[in-house]
Amino acid sequence: MADIYDSHAHYNDEAFDEDRAELLNSLPEKGVCAVINCGTDIATSEFSLALARDYSFIRAACGIHPHEAAACKGDYLPKLTEMLKDEKCVAVGEIGLDYHYDFSPRDIQLRFFEEQIILANKLGLPVIVHDRESHEDTLNLLKKYKPKGVVHCFSGSAEMAKEVLKLGMYIGLGGAVTFKNARRPLEVAVAVPNDRLLIETDCPYMTPVPFRGRRNDSSFIPYAAEVLAQVKNTSAEAILEMTRQNANTLFGTEY
Ligand code: NI
């Protein structure tokens, strides 16, 4: 299958240290036309930019993930702003809130999320949002600032999805739709109009069935596309084509 636009990946992860170049070079022949590589702190955001310089099908998102917020010392905003102005950077991400792990105190998570949404709006960039068990606070900040963007690996209800869609944002779905207990993401998939859906890996995590437990990469996206096609009464090819167009629209790319 062609037209695979992976809207959320972490090829900087150490899981790819052994064979990163070999794997990335193999992706285009497996149908991958584009990848957004998301940073989670300053170092991985720089790594994302370096990947985008080395591979024509990769673009970078730069941002501070809630897990990394507490460890981010000093004023990170000037450095992040400089990276966001790089022509290879297309989004602020990934940013957000994670009340499942709470690796950073919540007041710090909230401050970083808010500061980075404000920065994205100032620079006219979309945000890539991580929301884990923090639906209410996430939605409140999105409603307050109305950034362009996507809530990735969407884990809220179909009702919450409708709220996000009302704000003009996109919904990102991936490997989780193939899991046995996937009732909720599939209800969300049905609720999302075709022009607001993005597909993603979040690799090396979230590997779809039947490869769960293995390392994920963008070439596995058709397994999620097949499941999405079933609930949306279309073909996997059509899912890949529409998600490619949607990602191009949101990120201002031409893949
Ligand atoms: Ni991620």
pLDDT for 85-136, tens place per residue? 999 999 999 999 999 999 999 999 999 999 999 999 999 999 999 999 999 9
- Phi then psi for 169, rounded to 5 degrees? -90, 170
CATH code of the domain containing 199: 3.20.20.140
| Residues spanned by the domain of 132 | 4-251
pTM, entire model: 0.97
Q: How confident is the model at residue 181, as a pLDDT?
A: 87
Q: What is the pLDDT of residues 149-167, one digit of tens each?
A: 999 999 999 999 999 999 9
Residue with token string 């437990």: 213
What's the average model confidence in pLDDT over 33-56?
Answer: 98
Q: What is the pLDDT of residues 77-86, one digit of tens each?
A: 999 999 999 9
CA-based end-to-end distance of the chain: 15
User: How far is ligand 1, taken at its centre, from the CA of residue 10, in Å?
Assistant: 7
User: How far is ligand 1, taken at its centre, from the CA of residue 94, in Å?
Assistant: 7
Count of domains forming the chain = 1
Q: How confident is the model at residue 227, as a pLDDT?
A: 97
Q: How confident is the model at residue 154, as a pLDDT?
A: 95
User: How far is ligand 1, taken at its centre, from the CA of residue 59, in Å?
Assistant: 15
User: How far is ligand 1, taken at its centre, from the CA of residue 36, in Å?
Assistant: 10
How much of the chain, in percent, has pLDDT values that exceed 70?
100
Q: How confident is the model at residue 53, as a pLDDT?
A: 98
Q: In what order do the strands lie in the sheet with 89-98?
A: 4-9, 32-38, 58-62, 89-98, 127-132, 149-151, 170-173, 197-199
Query: pLDDT tier at 2 (50, 70, 90 boundaries)?
Result: confident
Q: How far apart are CA 151 and CA 132, in angstroms?
A: 10
Mean pLDDT across the chain = 97
User: How far is ligand 1, taken at its centre, from the CA of residue 128, in Å?
Assistant: 9
Q: How confident is the model at residue 151, as a pLDDT?
A: 98
Q: How confident is the model at residue 121, as a pLDDT?
A: 98
What's the average model confidence in pLDDT over 242-247?
Answer: 98
Q: How confident is the model at residue 187, as a pLDDT?
A: 95
